[in-house]
Amino acid sequence: MTVAEPGFAELRRRLGEVDDLRKAAWVLHWDLETMMPSAGADVRAEQLGTLAGIAHERFTADELGELLEALRGYENDLDYESDEASLIRVARRDYERARRVPAELRAEMVRAGAHGNQAWRRAREANDYAVFRPALERNLELQGRYIECLDGSPDPYDVLVAEYEPGLTTADIAAVFERLRDELTPLVTALEPPDDAPLDLGLSADQRRSTVATLLERLGFEREWGRFDNSVHPFMVNFGTSDIRLTVYEEGDLRALYAALHEFGHGLYERGVSPTLERTPLAQGASGALHESQSLLWENLVGRSHAFCGWFAGLLGGIEPASLHRAANRIERSLIRVDADPVTYSLHIVFRFELERELVSGSLAAADLRDAWNARVAAYLGLAAPDDLHGVLQDMHWSDMLMGYFPSYALGHVASAQIWERARADLPDVEEQIGRGEFGPLTEWLRERVHRHGRKFTTPETLERAVGGMFDPEPLLRYVRGKLESS
């Protein structure tokens, strides 16, 4: 970025400091998940709280607001797409949101999230939703107060959507999800159970680790700017565009390899953000949905294709491409969201979105949530949850104040199929290239269309630059029908 305006240089300096504090907290968090001995948890929680508090204080300082005000004229003279105008615009949006919620309410929500998470774990041990219910009621009350601080839209759920998918409304999401629900429900409820067992490659821990290492290396993940470690739940975090950390499952085989492919997609996104945005709030993926679109593109659209399975079977050795493809495309209705395949996954999200909206609006009471959950599972998946662990207690999101995040997962599925259709149109040889293990052309295309923008644009603006339009469920539905016909 060029720095012609002294006020802008000061803004960058201040935002750079806040970014340093946040990234330092992420390093501590990464260490907590991968390396830290369990007895370190209490001290680590304090350290994370201190860093988050200082970062929040610096970011919400009056002086920062005054700077953002003073820069309005400078911003208006700039191109909307420029790094400078985008930084001022997005920082102002974040700032206004951060300032409108009182610090006491934020702190109370953090505490309630921690308590809610403990209550959720106790409820899971007892396999009884009733144990979790008081914590959920408390969380909903605080969530309601939070929404009041930020409200200004017709639907209270819009406040939560804006948090994770800026530029999108509840109505936008509902339109996409209604189409998915109406089209997928009859297909999914009619699915017969698969007649083969899941494939077991029989990899030892060492073999799995070396296979993941080779896979990542061949995909273009370089040791100079990335590393991977084990964790209980795979995730990606980055401390800069040239320091990308992935984690992979400690166990399992085919599932672990596809989880690595998923996290690679997240990491490649962060790696591809323009270095000119480093140490600013724009140096990260645009939103949860865009991030999932990248991980799912690699995991599903690339990873479960004939071309990839042919290449990957060669890399694994000892398995026929057709067997690998069949195993990677096994479709089965299941009660557990995180185990769901690309065909049935969206329905798990659609009914969570519906229930969340009803909980937030007050039309559904927490007391009736278990029954409402089980009724949706029966209607959309044609399954009956035998207990709460396989039902309403399976996800941690509602215990941990993450209401409003679920839609991003299914929107990511929708966008991944849109982006893949567009990539194939622009790169007619992409499948042949993948079959030969050449991933560079697709990576370059994604970088140009999606990654380099970072968080400069809203969710719809970023998708527009990628595919020339808004969320459209039809490419995903075409993909799903194709999978069902060939299975």
The binding site for Zn ion (CB under 5 A) comprises 295
Quote the least distance from Cβ 412 to Zn ion, whole Å. Answer: 7
Quote the least distance from Cβ 87 to Zn ion, whole Å. Answer: 26
Helix pair 306-316, 321-328: axis angle to 10 deg: 120
Quote the least distance from Cβ 454 to Zn ion, whole Å. Answer: 18
Alpha helices, H only, 239-391: 254-272, 288-296, 306-316, 321-328, 345-361, 369-376
- Distance of alpha carbon 26 from its chain centroid, rounded? 16
Quote the least distance from Cβ 382 to Zn ion, whole Å. Answer: 27
Distances (CA, A) of 343 to 180, 288, 332, 482: 11, 20, 9, 10
Specify the pairing of strand 243-249 against strand 226-231: parallel
Choose between 59 and 409: whose C-beta lies nearer to Zn ion: 409
Structure tokens at 121: 């774990």
How far is 435 from 433, CA to CA, in rounded Å?
Answer: 5
Tokens 């769901």 found at: 340
Structure tokens at 244: 């990308």
The torsion defined by the Cα of 238, 240, 243 and 244, in degrees rounded to 10, comes to 30
Choose between 159 and 296: whose C-beta lies nearer to Zn ion: 296
Choose between 26 and 74: whose C-beta lies nearer to Zn ion: 26
Helix (H) or strand (E) holding 243, with range, is strand 243-249
Choose between 211 and 295: whose C-beta lies nearer to Zn ion: 295
Choose between 338 and 367: whose C-beta lies nearer to Zn ion: 338
Maximal CA-CA distance, the chain: 68
Residue in 165, 263, 354, 356 annotated catalytic? 263
How far is 428 from 421, CA to CA, in rounded Å?
Answer: 11
| Closest to 34 measured CA to CA, from 230, 249, 205 | 230
Helix (H) or strand (E) holding 249, with range, is strand 243-249
Identify any residues that bridge with 248 across adjacent strands, giving them in sequence order. Answer: 230
Q: Which residue minimizes CB distance to Zn ion?
A: 295
How far is 311 from 316, CA to CA, in rounded Å?
Answer: 9
Helix (H), strand (E), coil (C) string for 413-436: HHHHHHHHHHHHHHCCCHHHHHHC
Identify any residues that bridge with 231 across adjacent strands, giving them in sequence order. Answer: 249
Judge whether 355 and 362 are in contact, CB under 8 Å: no
DSSP 99-134: HHS-HHHHHHHHHHHHHHHHHHHHHHHHT-HHHHHH
How far is 330 from 341, CA to CA, in rounded Å?
Answer: 8
Quote the least distance from Cβ 254 to Zn ion, whole Å. Answer: 18
Tokens 């070396």 found at: 210
Choose between 295 and 458: whose C-beta lies nearer to Zn ion: 295
Distances (CA, A) of 324 to 146, 201, 308: 48, 10, 10
Choose between 92 and 413: whose C-beta lies nearer to Zn ion: 413
Quote the least distance from Cβ 269 to Zn ion, whole Å. Answer: 10
Choose between 8 and 258: whose C-beta lies nearer to Zn ion: 258
Quote the least distance from Cβ 318 to Zn ion, whole Å. Answer: 29
How far is 258 from 264, CA to CA, in rounded Å?
Answer: 10
Quote the least distance from Cβ 244 to Zn ion, whole Å. Answer: 14
What are the backbone angles phi and psi of residue 231, rounded to the nearest 5°? -155, 165
Quote the least distance from Cβ 414 to Zn ion, whole Å. Answer: 14
Q: Residue 263 catalytic?
A: yes
Choose between 86 and 295: whose C-beta lies nearer to Zn ion: 295
Structure tokens at 153: 């839209």
Q: Which residues are part of the catalytic machinery? A: 263
